[in-house]
Amino acid sequence: MTLLELQNLKKYFATQKAVDDISLTVERGQIFGLLGPNGAGKTTLIRMITGIFYPDEGQIIFDGKKFDPINDVGQIGYMPEERGLYKKMKIGEQAMYLAQLKGLSKADALKKIKQWFIKFEMESWWSKKVEDLSKGMSQKLQFVTTVLHEPKLIILDEPFSGLDPVNSNLIKDEIFNLAKNGSTIIFSTHRMEQVEEICDHIALVNKGKKILDGTVKQVKQEFKENLYSVGIEQELSSITGVTPYEIVGQKNGLHILKINEGSTPNDVLQYLLNQRATIHSFNEILPSLNDIFIKLVEGTPAARQFQKI
């Protein structure tokens, strides 16, 4: 079931086509990775979804209805990349304030904050001020305030930056938990290993346009280069003749083969067996998202240029 549908969204600024005709569909319970280089238009796109910006053109369908920023923001939790809290405010009061701004009643807010604080072992923080917290601690607090009101849609922009591995895992587990309980998560980052680990579905945005959209598996299949790693006892280069593959390289004692066009992995195995080779392992090498990202974005200028519109 679809929770969020973006139809031909456009947002032009004075010198940039920040978002230029992007359509996306995010399913309920999905962890959706929104990827793209710096300045690709991710933040602008997210700001339209959170009701901060109005799109110049296009529509946002949220939960089956046309997106209504005033009422629907209570269903959205947003943790921006540029995050912050009131430094001089006590942590408990701060969490209460942000929760109530999202529409929770005082009693509800208090109950939920208590639960989360216990979960994240933050009970002793209640009457401390934000300026007393370390960066990682305030990150945790920020995460709690984002998800506290049990939003249907949670948007996290670089949620792990500045967190140590222990706290990263804590938050990661919580993200999985939230998705399991029915929340939909849009996860924006350029840390590809995290995307591979966490996301079901990704979309890649560059220069205001969507250039890739699909599940992680699909995308990898789409960009695979028919590479296999073969563990074999003989020296592979001693096998000569018309091979159904090319040797591309060697890594950790494994040979890396690229299967010729028109051949299948079975052909390769058959050929090698016929050569009386002893095979220990035979694995497909799928491109990492990092490789795909670099491949797609490479060649475009690292920084977006200003343009006339």
Binding site for another protein (CB under 8 A): 47, 50-54, 56, 69-70, 73-74, 76, 78-80, 82-89, 97-98, 100-102, 142, 145
Which of 156, 80, 150, 155 lies closest to 109 in space, CA to CA?
A: 150
Considering beta carbons, is residue 70 or 303 the nearer one to another protein? Answer: 70
Q: Could you tell me the smallest distance in angstroms from the CB atom of residue 90 to another protein? A: 10
Considering beta carbons, is residue 97 or 271 the nearer one to another protein? Answer: 97
Q: Report d(CA 232, CA 255) in Å as an integer.
A: 8
Q: What is the DSSP string of 213-250?
A: EEEHHHHHHHT---EEEEEESS-GGG--SS-SEEEEEE
* Degrees, nearest 5: CA angle 169-24-81: 40
Residue with tokens 């549908």: 5
Q: Could you tell me the smallest distance in angstroms from the CB atom of residue 189 to another protein? A: 17
Considering beta carbons, is residue 142 or 189 the nearer one to another protein? Answer: 142
Q: Could you tell me the smallest distance in angstroms from the CB atom of residue 181 to another protein? A: 22
Residue with tokens 């890739």: 212
State residue 264 phi and psi, 5-degree precision.
Answer: -120, 165
The distance from CA 67 to its chain's CA centroid, rounded to whole angstroms, is 23
Considering beta carbons, is residue 82 or 233 the nearer one to another protein? Answer: 82
Considering beta carbons, is residue 11 or 220 the nearer one to another protein? Answer: 11
Q: Could you tell me the smallest distance in angstroms from the CB atom of residue 12 to another protein? A: 11
Write the Ramachandran bin of 47: left for phi over 0, alpha for psi from -120 to 50, otherwise beta.
Answer: alpha
70 CB burial (10 A radius; 0-12, 13-18, 19+): exposed
Q: Could you tell me the smallest distance in angstroms from the CB atom of residue 53 to another protein? A: 8
Q: Could you tell me the smallest distance in angstroms from the CB atom of residue 35 to another protein? A: 20
Q: Report d(CA 58, CA 203) in Å as an integer.
A: 18
Considering beta carbons, is residue 43 or 229 the nearer one to another protein? Answer: 43
